[in-house]
């Protein structure tokens, strides 16, 4: 479910967020199409581009913003042309033409998935819980293929429960940030009495399993 946009300017909260991730300054990069490039395959796309056009891969973070809710940084690679200019060559699902990118020195892709950085844009329990859910599910299942179909038994049930709760909180946050609002599951109960305890329970479970 698409909730976030690629910001094309650098408001102070984006700059502050980037400063927590990297010592280099964030920049707005243009997207340029590149033959054979696929969405979500930035590392392969850049590797192929370097092989045919020269230049080099630069690693860092692409910034996404869910306006009023959170900012997120996704591990990303862009292409540095032989002339030294940076271009994003990975197509976006929403056809964004520019991205905010912050390079990180010394960072490379080692074949493993890397969790996003996330920061709440408001001080709100549901937003914080959503971020904790994302982090906990990555800690647990980060290297599992996203479909989760290889999992069995209890692991599969926990995985599905995480995914359901994340989706529920996304739906909840799309209509507001009040814990007194009706739960997005459709039960007719207030969120804080309906699914909030389930969120708390799975976070406690994952805390214990990580120890
Ligand atoms: Zn509910």
Going from the Cα of 200 to the center of ligand 1, the distance in angstroms, rounded, reads 13
Q: How far is the CA of 180 from the centre of ligand 1 (A)?
A: 12
Question: In a 3-state reduction of DSSP, which class is residue 192?
Answer: helix
Kindly give the distance from the C-alpha atom of residue 154 to the centroid of ligand 1, in angstroms, as a whole number.
22
What is the predicted pLDDT for the residue at 93?
A: 86
Does residue 86 sit in helix, strand or coil?
Answer: strand
Whether the full predicted model's pTM is greater than 0.85, yes or no, is: yes
Nearest CA-CA partner of 77 in 91, 93, 61: 61
**Dist. CA 60 → ligand 1 center (Å):** 37
Taking the centre of ligand 1 as the mean of its atom positions, its distance from the CA of residue 197, in whole angstroms, is 9
CA–CA distance, 193 with 197 (Å, rounded to integer): 7
How far does residue 203's CA lie from ligand 1's centre (Å)?
Answer: 16
For residue 130, the model assigns a pLDDT of 97
Interval between CA 134 and ligand 1 midpoint (Å): 18
Ligand 1 center to residue 204 CA distance, Å? 18
What separation in Å is there between the alpha carbon of 110 and the centre of ligand 1? 39
Question: What is the pLDDT tens value at each position of the chain, 211 positions in all?
Answer: 456 776 667 899 999 999 999 999 999 999 999 999 999 899 999 999 999 999 999 999 999 999 999 999 999 999 999 999 999 999 998 888 999 999 999 999 999 999 999 999 999 999 999 999 999 999 999 888 766 778 889 889 999 999 999 999 999 999 999 999 999 999 999 999 999 999 999 999 888 776 5
* Residue 64, phi then psi, degrees to nearest 5: -120, 150
Rounded Cα distance, 99 and 78, in Å: 11
Position 2 scores a pLDDT of 55
CA of 122 to the centre of ligand 1 (A): 23
Of 54, 44, 53, 26, which Cα lies nearest the Cα of 90? 44
Distance CA 120, CA 198 (A): 21
Counting DSSP H helices and E strands in the chain, the numbers are: 5, 6
Task: Transcribe 94-150 into DSSP letters.
Answer: T--SEEEEEE-TT----SS--PPEEEESS--HHHHHHHHHHHHHHHHHTTS-TT-TT
How many A from CA of 165 to the centre of ligand 1? Answer: 9
């Amino acid at each position: 479910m698409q909730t976030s946009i690629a910001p094309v300017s650098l408001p102070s909260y984006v700059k502050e967020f980037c400063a927590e991730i990297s010592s280099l300054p964030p920049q707005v990069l243009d997207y340029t199409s590149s033959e054979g490039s696929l969405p979500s395959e930035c590392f392969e796309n850049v590797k192929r581009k370097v092989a045919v056009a020269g230049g080099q891969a630069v690693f860092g973070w692409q910034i996404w913003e869910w306006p009023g809710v959170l900012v997120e940084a996704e591990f990303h690679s862009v292409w540095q042309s032989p002339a030294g200019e940076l271009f994003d060559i990975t197509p976006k699902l929403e056809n964004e033409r520019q991205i905010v990118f912050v390079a990180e020195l010394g960072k490379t892709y080692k074949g493993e998935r890397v969790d996003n950085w996330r920061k709440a844009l408001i001080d709100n329990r549901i937003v914080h819980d959503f971020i904790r859910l994302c982090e906990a599910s990555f800690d647990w299942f980060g290297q599992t293929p996203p479909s989760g179909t290889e999992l069995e038994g209890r692991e599969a049930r926990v995985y599905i429960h995480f995914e359901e709760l994340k989706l529920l909180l996304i739906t909840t946050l799309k209509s507001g940030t009040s814990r007194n609002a009706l739960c997005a599951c459709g039960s007719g109960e207030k969120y804080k009495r309906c699914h909030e305890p389930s969120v708390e329970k799975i976070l406690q479970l994952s805390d214990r399993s990580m120890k």
